[in-house]
């Protein structure tokens, strides 16, 4: 430290210390400018997001607590927590659970089957297919399934020939479980996509170290493989849950709004299929959905953090 002092106090030498002097005398204008530029640069994006995302969401939350006359009330929420709307929530959660757990597990097995295949062609093919299938939209998917497994669908007809017509055994494409069945079509590929990197992160050296220590295949999976994969699997399932819970298009186009699911119920109110006096109910339902989805995403980020630590 004394060096610096000696240097700066000597006017004869050209001193790097003069820089230190300069920063101390930045004008407040300059400092403001330095803050302003990033703000200005980011403002289009921020403003757009606030307008497009923030305002509708705030509006929904606000209106959930508003009565038709405009007073603050909790009656919307309490109404929504019972009766058919409660059934709607339960159904939605049930549907989301079914179509996240089952496709989740199936997706893991499928992903593992693909990844351990020796043929890189197969692997590449399936990777591409998963990316595409996970993107198949609601409406198009609906009609494909109607054409295949509807009452007069092609597959139904074929299966009828061999006396295995699913409709005769209680299958109904246009029911709750029919919707779940169709959801699998994009939920499984989604899980495959999500879990594949995690599978790739299972190091060969762990497997070999376990073998070296005397572990059988079963022991390896039990003590190392499954525990290490579990955060990613859970994360994937959470993602699937969120995706299925919030879905509207597939269910709507398949069942034309008959089944009680929260998104469908919102849609019915918006469409005017339901009594107009209940508009604020829709906001209350949406509020409930937001709560469920927010919890889901918080859990997801927590789980994701854990998995990234282990699978570095």
Partner 1 sequence: MTQTQEQPLTSGAPSTSAGATVQLDQLVRTYGQVRALDGFSLQIAAGEFVALLGPSGCGKTTALRTLAGFERPDSGRVIVDGVDLSNVSAQKRDMGMVFQSYSLFPNMNALNNVAFGLRMRKQSGHQRRQKAGELLDLVGLSDQASKYPHQMSGGQQQRVALARALAIEPRVLLLDEPLSALDAKVRAELRDQIRSLQQRLAITTVFVTHDQEEALSMADRVCVMSRGRIEQVDVPSVLYARPTTAFVAQFVGVSSRVPVVLAGQEIELFGQKFPVRTGDVSALSGPVDALIRPEEVAVEVDPAASGFVTHKSFFGATTRLIVQLGDVAVRVDVRSDIAADIELGTRVRPAFVARDVLVAPRLADAAPPSE
Partner 2 sequence: MASVNQEIAFLELADPHSKEGVPARASGPRRRWRIRWWRGAVLLLAGLYFLLPLFAGLKFALENIAGKFSFQALQNLPSSPGFSSAFWLSFRLALVTVVISSALMIPTAIYVHLKLPRMRRAMDVVTVLPIVIPPIILILGVEGSAPLTLKSSPYLLSLLYVILAMPFVYRSLDAGLSAIDLKTLTEASRSLGGNWFRTMRSVILPNLRASLLSATVLTLALVFGEYTMASLDNWTTIPVWIVQFNDATDGHIQVAASMMGLVGTWVLLTALIFTFDRSQSRRAQRKTGLL
Is residue 211 part of the contact set for partner 1 (CB under 8 A)?
yes
CB of 14 to partner 2, least distance (A): 25
User: How many residues line the site for partner 1 (CB under 8 A)?
Assistant: 21
271 binds, among partner 1, partner 2, none (CB under 5 to 8 A by kind): partner 2
CB of 204 to partner 1, least distance (A): 9
* CA distances (Å), origin 143, targets 5, 63, 139, 226: 81, 36, 7, 38
* CA nearest to 84, candidates 244, 255, 249, 261: 261
Is residue 167 part of the contact set for partner 1 (CB under 8 A)?
no
Is residue 283 part of the contact set for partner 2 (CB under 8 A)?
yes
CB of 11 to partner 2, least distance (A): 34
Q: For partner 2, which residue of 197, 223, 273, 305 counts as binding (CB under 8 A)? A: 197
Is residue 88 part of the contact set for partner 2 (CB under 8 A)?
no
**Separation between Cα atoms, residue 280 and residue 300, nearest integer Å:** 30
Residue 17 has φ and ψ, to the nearest 5°, of -65, -15
**Cβ closest to partner 1, residue 120 vs residue 212:** 212
CB of 199 to partner 1, least distance (A): 15
**What letter does residue 260 receive in the DSSP assignment?**
-
Which positions from 11 through 70 interact with partner 2, judged by CB under 8 A? 38, 41-42, 44-45, 48-49, 52-53, 55-60, 63
Residue 94 has φ and ψ, to the nearest 5°, of -60, -45
Which positions from 273 through 312 interact with partner 1, judged by CB under 8 A? 309-312
Task: Label each residue of 55-110 as H, E or C.
Answer: HHHHHHHHHHCECCCCCECCHHHHHHCCHHHHHHHHHHHHHHHHHHHHHHHHHHHH
């Amino acid at each position: 430290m004394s060096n610096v002092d000696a240097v700066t106090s000597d006017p004869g030498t050209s001193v790097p210390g003069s820089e230190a002097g300069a920063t101390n005398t930045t004008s407040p204008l300059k400092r403001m400018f330095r803050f302003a530029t990033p703000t200005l640069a980011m403002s289009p994006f921020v403003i757009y997001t606030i307008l497009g995302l923030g305002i509708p969401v705030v509006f929904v939350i606000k209106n959930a607590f508003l009565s038709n006359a405009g007073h603050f009330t909790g009656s919307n929420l309490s109404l929504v927590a019972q009766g058919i709307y409660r059934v709607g929530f339960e159904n939605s959660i049930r549907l989301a659970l079914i179509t996240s757990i089952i496709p989740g597990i199936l997706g893991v097995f499928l992903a593992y089957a693909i990844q351990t295949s020796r043929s890189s062609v197969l692997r590449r093919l399936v990777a591409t297919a998963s990316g595409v299938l996970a993107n198949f939209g609601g409406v198009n998917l609906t009609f494909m399934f109607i054409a295949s497994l509807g009452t007069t669908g092609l597959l139904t007809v074929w299966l009828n020939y061999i006396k295995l017509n699913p409709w005769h055994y209680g299958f109904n494409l246009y029911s709750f479980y029919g919707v779940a069945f169709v959801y699998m079509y994009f939920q499984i590929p989604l899980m495959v996509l999500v879990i594949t990197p995690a599978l790739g992160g299972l190091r060969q050296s762990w497997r070999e170290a376990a073998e070296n220590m005397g572990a059988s295949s079963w022991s390896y999976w039990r003590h190392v493989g499954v525990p290490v994969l579990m955060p990613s699997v859970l994360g994937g399932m959470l993602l699937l849950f969120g995706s299925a819970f919030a879905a509207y298009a597939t269910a709507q186009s398949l069942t034309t709004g008959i089944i009680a699911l929260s998104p469908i119920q919102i849609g019915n109110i918006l469409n005017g299929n339901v009594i107009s006096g209940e508009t604020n109910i829709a906001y209350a339902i949406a509020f409930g959905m937001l709560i469920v989805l927010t919890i889901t995403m918080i859990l997801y980020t927590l789980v994701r953090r854990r998995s990234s630590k282990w699978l570095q």
